[in-house]
Amino acid sequence: MKYNLLLIVIFFAVTSSCEKADKGKVLYLGHSLPQSHPVHKGIVEFQKALELKSKGELRVKIFPDAQLGSEREVLELLQIGSVAATKVSAATLSNFVPEYHILGIPYLFRDKQHQFDVLEGQIGKSILEKGSKFWLRGLCYYDAGSRSFYTSKKAIRTPDDLKGLKIRVMNNQMAINMVNALGGSATPLSYSELYTAIQQGVVDGAENNPPSFVSSNHYEVSKYYTLDQHSSVPDVLLIGTKYWDKLSEKEKSWVQEAADESSQAQKIFWNESVEESMKIAKEAGVEVIIPEKSLFAEKSKTVVEKFVIEFPEMAPIVNQIKNL
């Protein structure tokens, strides 16, 4: 990747200087999602809104489908200033900014409205700003739904059904602790390798939201989908501070306003995608299980307790969210 990274840096150094001279400032935005994904559609709304607000002075060039590398690799490009913006999971950001761990706490949010009240209020905005010291400034959150378990050989109806099962998780400590607490065996694995891993029995299942479950074609090899909705980890639209700091105050306001508008539009895209994805999964023969979520919530309480012990400074924020 280091050689590829060097080529990308050289490419952007040359092309960006040309585009600035001819067409105003260009914001390069890379992410790993397909163009059919509702989060990509939200990013397109950001692109449209920014060009409209700035009357073409600021434009966005989007590179989807991991054209510029994985989430981690694009984050590195942001930090050195070769790419202006990206979209990543809050779980990935928690490796840089500990406060993002909070958003991955199982059953933290009572419902969708509670989640949006937190993310779009002072708590959420404060977390977005925390990444600036790592050159990663958050602009807004995108709805990434709720993550649930899907398996290939047996249905998950209660936490006891997870015993002995290898469940793929993101390389994120909160996700690892949660699956282990519920009785499964958490197995961090690259998302790109997951289809084959399930197909060959390397893992017994995974956990994700409906659009990702379907767009990845994992429903072809996982015929049980349990909507336990254990976590609601949002995506985050980020801008590198090396780019942000070069903008005027007016330009910064355009970028932030465009991001906020795209966040609201993306919620609609997300809901439409969830409905369509569930329809596709059911028509393909996937058994959808609606479990008693309180059983999973009760057994995952140890994850929160462990987190607060490890990060005592986070306890006031967790309490604020629960009391909101």
Q: Which CATH number fits domain 147-232+281-323: 3.40.190.170, 2.130.10.10, 3.40.50.2000, 3.40.50.150?
A: 3.40.190.170
pLDDT value of position 205: 98
Helix or strand (DSSP H, E) at 71: helix 71-80
pLDDT tens track for 263-294: 999 999 999 999 999 999 999 999 999 999 99
pLDDT computed for residue 34 by the predictor: 86
pLDDT reported for residue 23: 64
pTM reported for the whole predicted model: 0.88
pLDDT of the residue at 22: 52
Mean of the per-residue pLDDT values of the chain? 92
C-alpha pair distances (Å), 310 with each of 51, 172, 175, 218: 44, 15, 15, 34
pLDDT at 234: 96
User: H or E stretch including 11?
Assistant: helix 2-23
Residues of the chain with pLDDT under 50: 1-3, 5-7, 9-11, 13-21
CATH entry 3.40.190.170 includes domain 2-144+234-274: yes
Structure tokens, 196: 């084959």
Binning the chain into helix, strand and coil, the percentages to the nearest 5 are 55, 20, 25
Report the Cα 10 to chain-centroid distance in Å.
Answer: 28
Q: What is the 3-state secondary structure (H, E, C) of 175-215?
A: HHHHHHHCCCEEEECCHHHHHHHHHCCCCCEEEECHHHHHH
Identical fold for domains 2-144+234-274 and 147-232+281-323, yes or no, is yes
DSSP 8-state code for residue 82: S
SS3 163: coil
Token pair listed for 248: 């005027």
Coil, strand, or helix at residue 232? coil
Neighbours of 284 (CB within 10 A): 12
| φ/ψ (deg, to 5) at 288 | -100, 120
| Rounded-to-integer distance, Cα 167 and Cα 231, Å | 15
The residues, ordered by sequence, that sit 6+ positions from 265 with a Cβ below 8 Å of its Cβ are 41, 42, 45
DSSP state for residue 110 in the 8-state scheme:
S
Give the residue from 158, 38, 138 showing the smallest Cα distance to 94.
Answer: 138
Domain locations in the chain as residue ranges: 2-144+234-274, 147-232+281-323
How would you classify the pairing of strands 147-151 and 58-63?
A: unpaired
What local confidence, expressed as pLDDT, does residue 18 receive?
A: 32
Strands (E), the chain: 25-30, 58-63, 85-89, 136-142, 147-151, 166-169, 185-188, 205-208, 224-231, 235-240, 287-289
